[in-house]
Amino acid sequence: MALPLLMIVIGLIILVWSADLFVEGAAAVARYLGMSPLLIGMVIIGFGTSAPELSVSALSALQGNPGIALGNAYGSNITNIALILGCVALINPITVHSQIIRKELPILFMVTLFVIFQLYDGHLSRFDALLQLAVFVMVMAWMIRQDLKKPDSFEQEVEEELEEHAMSISQAWIWLIAGLALLVLSSRLLVWGAVSIAQDLGVSDLVIGLTIVAIGTSLPELASSVAAARKGEHDLALGNIIGSNLFNTLAVVGLAGSIHPLDIPAEIIHRDGPLMTLLTIALFALGYNRNGGNGQISRLEGSGLLAVYIAYSLYLINTVVSA
Task: Give the amino acid at 153.
Answer: S
Least confident among 15-24, 31-40, 121-130, 189-198? 31-40
Mean pLDDT of all residues in 166-174: 80
Mean pLDDT of the chain: 81
Most confident of 3-7, 131-135, 181-185, 206-210: 131-135
The pLDDT value recorded for residue 158 is 55
133-148 pLDDT, tens per residue? 999 999 888 877 776 6
Least confident among 102-106, 280-284, 286-290? 286-290
Predicted TM-score (pTM) of this structure:
0.82
The pLDDT value recorded for residue 186 is 83
246-262 pLDDT, tens per residue? 989 999 999 999 998 98
Is the pLDDT at 223 greater than 80? The verdict is no
Q: How far apart are the first and last CA of the chain?
A: 17
The pLDDT value recorded for residue 111 is 94
293-303 pLDDT, tens per residue? 677 888 999 99
Which residues, in sequence order, are bridge partners of residue 262? 124
The pLDDT value recorded for residue 29 is 75
Mean pLDDT of all residues in 104-133: 92
At the fourth CATH level, the homologous superfamily of domain 2-322 is: NCX, central ion-binding region (1.20.1420.30)
The pLDDT value recorded for residue 74 is 94
Residue in 82, 101, 81 with CA at minimum distance from that of residue 295: 101
Is the pLDDT at 243 greater than 90? The verdict is no
